[in-house]
Amino acid sequence: MAWRDSRRSRQRLLLFMSAIVLGIAALVAINSFGDNLARSIDEQARELLGADLTLSWNRPPSPKTAQLAKTIGRDRAYEVSFASLVSIPKTGGVRLAQVKGLQGNFPYYGIWEVQPATASRAFRQATNRVALVDDALLVQLGAQPGDSVKVGNLSFLITGRVTKTPGQAAIAATVAPTVFIPAKFLASTGLMERGSRVTYKYYYQFAPGTDVEKYVKTITARLDKDGVNYDTVAGRKKQTGRSFADLTKYLSLVAFVALLLGCVGVASAVQLYVKEKVTSVAILRTLGASGRQAFLIYLIQTALMGLIGAVIGALVGSGVQLILPQVFGRFLPVTVETALSGPAILGGIGTGLLISVLFALLPLLAIRNVSPLRTLRTSYEDDLSGRDPWRWVVYLLVVGFIVGFAWLQTKNLMLAIGFTAGLAVAFGTLTLLGLGLIWLVRKFFPTSWSYIWRQSLANLYRPNNQTLILVTSIGLGAFLIATLYLTQGLLLGRVELSASGNQPNMVLFDIQNEQIAGIRDLVKKQKLPIMQEVPVVTMRLSDINGATEIVRKDTSAKTPKWAFTREYRVTYRDTLISSEKLASGKAPYQTNGAVFVSMEKDFMDRMHLKLGDTLNFNVQGAAIQTIVGGTREVEWNRVQTNFLVVFPSGVLEQAPQFHVLMTRVPNNQTSALLQRELVSRFPNVSAIDLGLILKTVDDILGQISFVIQFMALFSILTGLLVLASSVVISKYQRLRESVLLRTLGASRRQILRITALEYGLLGLLSALSGILLSIVGTWALAQFVFEVPYRPDTLPLLVVALTVTALTVLIGVFNSREVLVRPPLDVLRAEG
Amino acid sequence: MSILRVENLTKTYSSGGRDLTVLHGVNFTLEPGDTFAIVGPSGSGKTTLLGLCAGLDRASSGSVYLNDVQLDTLNEDERAALRNQHVGFIFQNFQLLPTLTALENVMVPLELRGEKGAGKAAQALLERVGLGDRGHHYPTQLSGGEQQRVSLARAFANRPKLLFADEPTGNLDADTSATVVDLLFELNREAGTTLVLVTHDMELASRTQRIIRFKGGAVVNELVNDRVVEGLTD
């Protein structure tokens, strides 16, 4: 019966269900991509590391460990890296880069993509001064292979352009582009002086079949003791896999939003469908069908169409995932092999079926209450909306499903509840905005406007209008896109704010004790201010309250493992500076030989420490016992050298250290001049120009926002599909109105203008609702999270508003074209 | 000069691969001020004839001259303009725009032609049909009889030369029907409009001067209602 009844309306039913196609497609695409990415990471794990094992350290390990490092594995490559300013003599360009001195056959696994392809082999065997340089650096400094690059005291001939290094996502080269040089020339660069922040790393290749994990376990204790970091294939796989699994899970929530939008569309379409089917239901009831039977007929119809929609969505999604590796592009550390993912497809179909039925249930419940009396009296009005207690059950099921889905994706109940609540707030606010705007239009109806305007405005609240559903669905899409732009602007604004006013905008670091006077002179000679000058000492934490990491592992203490493995960069002074505020205890001080340090408040919480705890630091071989004497709140978003741990003065003065100096350069020319002077006179000193940071942040945000925009696109497209289907389902009503107007003498042009204006107003209302919500949301972000003044950029918002409006008009008018060509006689025919 | 002339009008529809002729060579002429009824059973082609006379559809053969303009020579928009200029309509289902108030519905024909002062004229007409105080009500807030009265006011808004009424009392109860019909004929007489009434109600038809009986798409006979004609000539 369900099948027979749907005969004349299958096409329309299918159209309702098309609203969920894109949501399912997005979901299946992201989950398939996630599966494929996990598999690719698994398969290419060795290429992520480029070796079977790596060992690295920032300070020389014990001679025994150093000796061990030289004997592990079948073959090994050696790398020394540090940050330094490099310059291109030909163009005069200077930039902070990662300098890596390589020796050996790195990489053992994966392809080092260098142009020309022969350059990497030639580099490994080189006896002369050659360099391979990251593409990003060459582009920024206007150089190319054949030019030379100056690193410290030496010039190197650039023989190749590096486009990809194993285990490194392309985006990493934007943040810290690398210059590779043969290790044997490192000493002559003059950059390896005492105190420079240098990382030493060994890459190992083992004989096939070696259990590297098992071997590493035998030397872990010694490596930990010496502060040597180690990374195995399995470890890297786990770490990379986890961060990308998180990414795909959150993106699947974005896809889920598109699906929910589609479902709201389905619910509204089914509601109209039910209204049209009321007479059929009444006839069925007269012939003896129970309310339950009638309900089941239409439930089966919608379930079937939901299934078809979900299957089509899964097919589209499986196709879309093929282009996702290009969308993620520079973020991916491995080459993703795309293949159909069974779990993603089945999961998508199941989700689509379930959620379309759940949302269709709300309007379908009304069918149970249709009275057979309608067959006798057409004017008989049932109370279809009713106060059916089952509605609440359905509401609960819908909320339960959303929370459940979000929990399945994130495995975090609080986050799932937060996501559902956030959605409810967004939907609720958009609905309220939509209602408010309609109310405003009715309340302040412009009676003096021309007929065309008034008719199109009035159409927004015609009976069975779709205004609210469209404001919600298109508005949510506009909200997502506008929020992306505004948040991006906020983040950039925050960095820009740091550079504004009289705040420092250039940081010089790695300044050695004997260089500090020379650097001061250089800065003063350029008539630049010295805004801050601080010493920095690097150290590691050996124990907390007498317990080392190994002991603490077995106790209930919650100290995180990284507390012992990370390197601490600390300074020493007895007072707090302008970016700090005392939170508890005192500023750093010494009494009776006891050293009281000050910790950053949040850091102390993460370490699970309290005032009075003792911390034993290893300062490059020398042990220093300290006590937590106070905490500070630190304004991190100021360009200042801020520290997690501050020592009192009189303790670290003799320790190996380097200095950081901050100044403010008025323009790019002065910045370039200062950096050129630095490269020639103090080659080991590095400089960070805030302009460069701004550019890098902009570049990374651009990449991230492209990925999110791609996902938000599904929401916008779903919104437009909901629009298209609601235009089609409300076509009969508009057809009647337009034909009537034609009968009364309206020209095609007048009808077209009314239709276009109606959809223009609808699109504009939706876009404005979404943008308004987005402005409020990002204002709250600016006010409470980023703490920056809020000045939204109006141009992107204008573009969003106009694009959404234009698309709405286009789709609305395109789907209404039948209205324009239908002969007016139909209006008489409709009277029967 | 006749206001409506119908010559050898034939309409054939193609349905399921078969041709179905619903009008067979219909002829008649109406002079200004005539009242005219087309009566016949359901499916006899009455509404098709009315649609063709008003230029809402195109004939398969034959011609319709409205105010001496041959409708077949005009395109859709030109016919719409002609209707707006000379024709008024009353429908069985009232056909009011649900999004507009009663007053705005009456204003539509005037506003479509860009006439100034539409509000005043519409208000006067609403008062004439006894709904002066209901102008700001929406159609759903009005009874069937009231909706048909708004529809009457709208039909006369553009001061038409020719008024087509298609089963104007079909959806009304007896008492309301009588009120609406009285009002229709009063307004018609005052405005000197030519009235074409489509109905299967002989009692209603008997209030017009001429009646043609329709069956199977062809005119069976034409009656001249002497009582009405005499009444008019008295």
pLDDT by residue (tens digit) across A113-122? 898 888 888 8
Higher pLDDT among residues B120 and A452, named by residue: B120
Contact residues for A542 (Cβ-Cβ < 8 A; gap 6+)? A548, A564, A616, A617, A618, A623
* Residue in this structure with the two tokens 């709250």, named with its chain if needed: A780
Cβ distance B56 to A824 less than 8 Å, yes or no, reads yes
In chain A, pLDDT over 90 holds for what percent of residues?
9
Pairing verdict, β A594-600 and A622-634: parallel
**Residue A379 — very low, low, confident or very high, per pLDDT cuts 50/70/90?**
very low
Both tokens assigned to A2: 């369900």
Query: How high is the pLDDT of residue A58?
Result: 77
- For chain B, the DSSP string reads --SEEEEEEEEEEEETTEEEEEEEEEEEEE-TT-EEEEE--TTSSHHHHHHHHTTSS--SEEEEEETTEEGGGS-HHHHHHHHHHHEEEE-TT----TTS-HHHHHHHHHHHTT-TTHHHHHHHHHHHTT-GGGTT--GGGS-HHHHHHHHHHHHHHT--SEEEEESTTTTS-HHHHHHHHHHHHHHHHHHT-EEEEEES-HHHHTTSSEEEEEETTEEEEEEE-HHHHHHHH-
Which is more confidently placed, B65 or A90? B65
Within 8 A of A753 by CB-CB distance, chain B residues are none
Beta pairing partners, A114: A162
How far apart, in whole angstroms, are the C-alpha atoms of residue A774 and residue A484?
A: 9
pLDDT computed for residue B127 by the predictor? 94
- CB-closest option in A462, A750, A825 to B98: A462
What number is the average pLDDT over the span A392-417? Answer: 85
Q: Nearest by CB to A743, which of B77, B89, B92?
A: B89
Using the beta-carbon criterion (under 8 Å), do A455 and B99 form an inter-chain contact? yes
Pick from B56, B85, B170: which is nearest to A743 by CB? B56
Distances (CA, A) of A308 to A14, A262, A304, A389, A546: 8, 14, 6, 30, 65
| Angle between helix A690-729 and helix A467-499 axes, rounded to 10 deg | 180
CA A240/CA A422 separation, integer angstroms: 29
- Is the distance from CB of A661 to CB of A630 less than 8 angstroms? no
Asked if the Cβ–Cβ distance from A461 to B99 is below 8 Å, we say yes
| Partner A contacted by B15 (CB < 8 A) | no
For residue A389, pLDDT beyond 90: no
What are residue A582's DSSP bridge partners? A632
Please give the mean pLDDT across all residues of chain B: 87
Q: Do B50 and A828 touch (CB under 8 A)?
A: yes
How many whole angstroms separate alpha carbon A391 and alpha carbon A576? 61
Alpha-carbon gap, residue A771 to A49, rounded angstroms: 44
Q: Tell me the shortest Cα–Cα distance from A824 to chain B, in angstroms.
A: 5
Q: Which residue of A has its CA nearest to B117?
A: A448
- Minimum mean pLDDT among A565-579, A690-704, B20-34: which range? A690-704
Question: Is B112 touching A (CB cutoff 8 A)?
Answer: yes
How much is the average pLDDT of B25-53?
A: 89
Looking at chain B, which residue has its C-alpha nearest residue A736? B95
Determine the average pLDDT of the residues in B161-186.
Answer: 89
Percent of chain B with pLDDT over 90: 39
Q: Does residue A190 have a pLDDT over 90?
A: no
Q: Identify which of B58, B80, B100 has the shortest CB distance to residue A746.
A: B80
Q: Is the Cα dihedral A562, A567, A573, A575 positive or negative?
A: negative
Burial code (b: 16+ CB inside 10 Å, e: under 16) for A166-185 equals bbbbbbbbbebbbbbbbbeb
Give the chain B residue whose CA is nearest to the CA of A460. B99
Mean of per-residue pLDDT scores for chain A: 80
Of the partner residues B77, B91, B113, the one whose CB lies closest to the CB of residue A748: B77
Under the banding of pLDDT at 50, 70 and 90, the label for residue A832 is very low
Across the interface, whether the CB atoms of B167 and A831 are under 8 A apart is answered yes
Chain A CB within 8 Å of residue B16 CB: no
Residues in chain A: 832
Q: A503: left (phi > 0), else alpha (psi -120 to 50), else beta?
A: beta
Q: CB-based contact (8 Å) between B35 and chain A? A: no
For residue A76, which of A108, A48, A44 has the smallest C-alpha distance? A108
Q: Residue A831's pLDDT is what? A: 42
Supply the pTM of this predicted model. 0.64
User: Which residues of A make CB contacts under 8 Å with B?
Assistant: 450-451, 454-455, 458-459, 461-463, 736-737, 740-750, 823-825, 827-831
Does pLDDT of A730 surpass 70? no
pLDDT at A558 over 80: no
A459 → closest Cβ in B77, B81, B99: B99
User: How would you classify the pairing of strands A75-88 and A199-205?
Assistant: antiparallel
Query: Is B78 in CB contact (< 8 Å) with chain A?
Result: no
A739, A828, A829, A831, best to mutate vs chain B, most B CBs in 10 Å: A828
Using one digit for the tens of pLDDT, what is the confidence trace for A1-54?
A: 666 666 556 666 666 677 788 888 888 888 888 888 888 877 777 787 888 898
Contacts of A749 in chain B (CB under 8 A): 77
Please state whether the peptide bond connecting residue A116 to the residue before it is cis, i.e. omega within 30 degrees of 0. yes
Which of A454, A746, A829 lies at the smallest CB-CB distance from B112? Answer: A746
Query: Which DSSP state fits A111?
Result: -
Answer yes or no: do B83 and A745 touch at CB < 8 A.
yes
CB within 8 Å: B81 and A742: no
Between residues A374 and A326, the one the model is more confident about: A326
How confident is residue B92, by pLDDT bands cut at 50, 70 and 90?
Answer: confident
A534 against A509, higher pLDDT: A534
Q: How many C-beta atoms surround the C-beta of residue A490 within 10 A?
A: 20
Q: What is the pLDDT of residue A589?
A: 92
Residues of B (173-212) whose Cβ lies below 8 Å from A? none
In this complex, the residue of A455, A740, A747 whose CB is nearest that of residue B77 is A747
Residues with Cβ within 8 Å of residue A832, at least 6 apart in sequence: none
| Cα–Cα distance for residue pair A578/A230, rounded to 1 Å | 39
Give the mean model confidence (pLDDT) for residues A276-298: 76
Summarize the confidence of residues A723-752 as an average pLDDT.
77
Confidence of residue A167 (pLDDT cuts 50, 70, 90): low
Q: What's the average model confidence in pLDDT over A138-154?
A: 87
pLDDT (0 to 100) of residue B233: 47
- Phi, psi for B29 (deg, rounded to 5): -135, 140
Mark yes or no for CB contact B107/A451 under 8 Å.
Answer: yes
Nearest CA in chain B to A740: B95
Residue A679 structure tokens: 């490269």
Nearest to B91 among A459, A823, A831 (CB): A831
**Two structure tokens written together for A619:** 């300062």
CA distance A830 to chain B (A): 9
Average confidence (pLDDT) over A559-565: 75
Query: For B99, how many CA atoms within 13 A lie in the half-sphere containing its CB?
Result: 26
Which two tokens mark A604?
Answer: 């102390």
Query: How crowded is residue A788: how many other Cβ atoms within 10 Å of its Cβ?
Result: 18
Encode pLDDT of B179-213 as tens digits: 899 999 999 998 899 999 998 888 889 999 999 98
Answer yes or no: is pLDDT of A691 > 90: no
**Among A463, A742, A828, beta carbon nearest to B51:** A828
Percent of chain A at pLDDT > 70 equals 84
Give the count of beta carbons closer than 10 Å to the beta carbon of residue B192. Answer: 10
| Residues of chain B contacting A449 with CB distance shorter than 8 Å | none
C-beta atoms of A451 and B93 within 8 A: no
Sheet holding B61-66, edge to edge: B18-30, B4-15, B61-66, B69-70
Instruction: State the smallest CA–CA distance between residue B140 and chain A in angstroms.
Output: 10
> Distance between CA atoms of A100 and A80, rounded to whole angstroms?
6
Q: Is the model more confident about A798 or about A126?
A: A798
B76 in A contact zone (CB under 8 Å): yes
Tell me the mean pLDDT in the region A571-599. 89
- B92 in contact with A, Cβ within 8 Å: yes
Chain A: closest CA distance from residue B207 (Å): 23
Q: With 50 as the cut, is the pLDDT of residue A155 above it?
A: yes
Cβ separation B84–A744 shorter than 8 A: yes
Contact A747 B81 (CB under 8 A): yes
Measure CA A271 to chain center: 37
User: pLDDT class for A194, splitting at 50, 70, 90?
Assistant: low
Tokens of A586: 């005192």
Q: Which residues of A touch B95 (CB under 8 A)?
A: 736, 740, 743, 827
Q: Which chain A residue shows the shortest CA-CA distance from B89?
A: A744
Q: Which of A451, A454, A747 sits opposite B80 (nearest CB)?
A: A747
Secondary structure element (H or E) that encloses residue A594, with its range: strand A594-600
Segment A465-476 shows an average pLDDT of 78
